[in-house]
Structure 1
Amino acid sequence: MHTFDLSRPWQLHPQVAVRPEPFGALLYHFGTRRLSFLKDRTLLALVQQLQTEPSAQSACTAVGLNGAELRRYEQALGALAASSMVVERTP
């Protein structure tokens, strides 16, 4: 898996639907027909925050992530990018 670039702007893929759940959320990609589970509410908040922040790093800061926990969420974003659930945002 590639290293996820926190300095870049990201967003949910336009074909991804989010269904919040008590444990986090389900993401369904209508193009690939893949389902992903977000296993906690912080990850859901982070994915939603990607839409409006200038970078993934600023989205992490906005949801209160720092230090050791940041690495775990960076890896989760990397997995979501590898499965095309999140894509780099272009101007």
Structure 2
Amino acid sequence: MSDAQLTDLPATFDPALPYELHPQVEIRPEPFGALLYSFKTRRLSFLKDPVLVTVVRGLADHASASAACRAADIEEPARLEQFQRALATLASTETIRERST
């Protein structure tokens, strides 16, 4: 990702940092991907890409959000940017959060 693209991400999200699913968020598998419900914000989110569901579920198992994407075989720069933007949105809505190391 170029420096210009990185600056387009919300300031609260850094793909080099470790993240996890917020403990007050539940994931319900669906044929299209998953529903995420936050008991904290009462927000319902739809993940329409099963690979994104895999990334979100795997965040806590990896050293960074970028590493979780790579583990899901997301390598192509444009696709990686797309996934990082999705993760940034999830971070901004408190669906995922930065993990303490």
Q: Give me the TM-score of the superposition, normalised by structure 2.
A: 0.86
Distance 1:56 1:32 in 2: 22
- 1:41 match: 50
Tell me the amino acid that sits aligned with residue 19 of structure 2.
W
Identity %: 48
Deviation at 1:68, TM superposition (A): 1.4
Higher helix share: 2
Distance 2:50 2:98 in 1: 22
Q: Would you say 1:2 and 2:35 are equivalent positions?
A: no
Tell me the amino acid that sits aligned with residue 28 of structure 2.
R
Tell me the amino acid that sits aligned with residue 41 of structure 1.
P
Equivalent residues in 2 for 1:11-90 (5 A)?
11-66=20-75, 67-90=77-100
Bigger Rg, structure 1 or 2: 2
Deviation at 1:28, TM superposition (A): 0.2
Tell me the amino acid that sits aligned with residue 2 of structure 1.
P
Distance 1:54 1:75 in 2: 18
Gaps of 5+ in 2: 1-8
CA RMSD of aligned residues (A): 1.1
Tell me the amino acid that sits aligned with residue 31 of structure 2.
P
Distance 1:24 1:38 in 2: 5
Tell me the amino acid that sits aligned with residue 93 of structure 2.
S
